[in-house]
């Protein structure tokens, strides 16, 4: 799926209450990684505050109290930056979506409640504006058949110990560092934030389960079609094999036919978030499980390995973070860093020797 949101279109982010809450992770990710212009953030509870002081994101974007206050700054598109539980459009955000459409702006949203299906909101759209509800199943899907295994490029899939641990961020940091080093790299978004940032991808949680692996397969085939053995396709992970409510990891493994895996984990996390009785397995056990599953249903016989660990240390001090990185590296025997905080260089280095020493099928 390729959306209508252009890289250079100035946007306003609707982030009511999301600047300091995990529910705003979509907007926060766009603030961190979108290369195009963001002219304002709408968050009434933080209007007038410094974005950097509030979020730690070093980007000069004003925080305003309403969509009307953002209009003089020249946005062309209003983007819903929230990911609330259940994916429904909160009333205050709906009011600003209505104001945006009435002012002639286009609107992009990744929520389950679709803007275009709301008769009142759809009627406000100006003829030259568009509504992009990106959480829809792509047309023409088929069941996966492991066609991706024939691609000569490398395919890295991020797998997590839990939901919302930083799988997308790790892949985007890898893409940034790979491109800086002259390595052809493409990111495949599989969730609303990743798709909004990159402009394309597949909203995996909007796809019927029988076609989920096929949807991933189609997206990876499109991203890697003209990449040679030196190119990388970086596939955003979703969910976790450890989470009882998640079904996303297996179709991602099947559809992407990864040559390599990246484990993403939040430092110090011992149980599934919100489920204190559900302990996470030791990382070596989780690594072994991910590798074993990734070796199944492969026509090439390749056995992917977890090559490094991306550790989310956002809640730790710098000294605590360094200690956690060292402990995780010792526990797993793998290179480990926080790519958002310290850069993705060590992760690239963990993969680069294999690029130089491996054949086009990615085997050592």
- Residues, the chain, total? 364
Of residues 275, 348, 262, 352, the one with CA closest to residue 311: 262
Domains, the chain, ordered by start? 11-133 (3.40.50.720), 147-357 (3.40.50.300)
pLDDT at 203 over 80: yes
Query: What gap in Å lies between CA 336 and CA 324, rounded to an integer?
Result: 9
Q: What is the pLDDT of residue 83?
A: 80
Report strand pairing: 305-312 vs 336-337.
parallel
Instruction: Tell me the three state secondary structure of residue 29.
Output: helix
How much is the mean pLDDT over the chain?
Answer: 94
Q: What is the pLDDT of residues 68-100, one digit of tens each?
A: 999 999 999 999 999 876 667 889 999 999 999
Q: What is the pLDDT of residues 314-343, one digit of tens each?
A: 999 999 999 999 999 999 999 999 999 999
Structure tokens at 270: 């011992």
Query: What gap in Å lies between CA 302 and CA 52, rounded to an integer?
Result: 44
Q: What angle do CA 64, 65, 70 make, to 5 degrees?
A: 50
């Amino acid at each position: 799926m390729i959306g209508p949101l252009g890289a250079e279109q100035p946007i306003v982010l609707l982030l009511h209450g999301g600047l300091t809450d995990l529910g705003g992770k979509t907007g926060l990710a766009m603030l961190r990684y979108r290369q195009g212009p963001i002219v304002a953030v709408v968050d009434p509870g933080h209007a007038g505050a410094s974005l950097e002081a509030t979020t730690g994101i070093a980007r000069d974007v004003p925080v305003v109290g309403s969509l009307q206050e953002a209009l003089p700054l020249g946005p062309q598109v209003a983007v819903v930056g929230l990911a609330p539980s259940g994916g429904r459009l909160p009333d205050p955000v709906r009011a600003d979506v209505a104001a945006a459409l009435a002012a002639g702006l286009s609107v992009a949203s990744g929520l389950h409640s679709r803007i275009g299906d709301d008769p009142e909101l759809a009627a406000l759209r100006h003829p030259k504006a568009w509504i992009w509800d990106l959480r829809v199943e792509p047309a023409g899907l088929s069941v996966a058949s492991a066609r991706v295994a024939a691609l000569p490029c490398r395919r890295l899939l991020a797998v997590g110990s839990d939901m919302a641990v930083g799988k997308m961020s790790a892949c985007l940091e890898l893409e940034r560092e790979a491109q800086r080093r002259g390595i052809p790299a493409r990111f495949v978004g599989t969730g609303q934030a990743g798709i909004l940032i990159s402009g394309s991808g597949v909203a995996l949680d909007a796809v019927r389960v029988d076609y989920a692996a096929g949807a991933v397969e189609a997206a990876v085939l499109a991203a890697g079609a003209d990449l040679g053995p030196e190119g990388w396709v970086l596939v955003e992970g979703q969910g976790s094999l450890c989470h009882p409510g998640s079904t996303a990891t297996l179709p991602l493994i099947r559809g992407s036919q990864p040559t390599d895996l990246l484990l993403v984990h939040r430092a110090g996390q011992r149980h599934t978030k919100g489920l204190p009785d559900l302990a996470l397995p030791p990382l070596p056990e989780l690594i072994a499980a991910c590798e074993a599953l990734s070796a199944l249903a492969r026509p090439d016989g390749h056995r992917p390995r977890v090559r490094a660990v991306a550790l989310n240390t956002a809640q730790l001090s710098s000294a605590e973070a360094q200690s956690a990185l060292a402990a995780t590296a010792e526990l797993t025997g793998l290179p480990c860093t926080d790519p958002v905080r310290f850069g993705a260089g060590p992760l690239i280095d963990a993969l680069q020797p294999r690029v130089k020493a491996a054949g086009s099928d990615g085997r050592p």
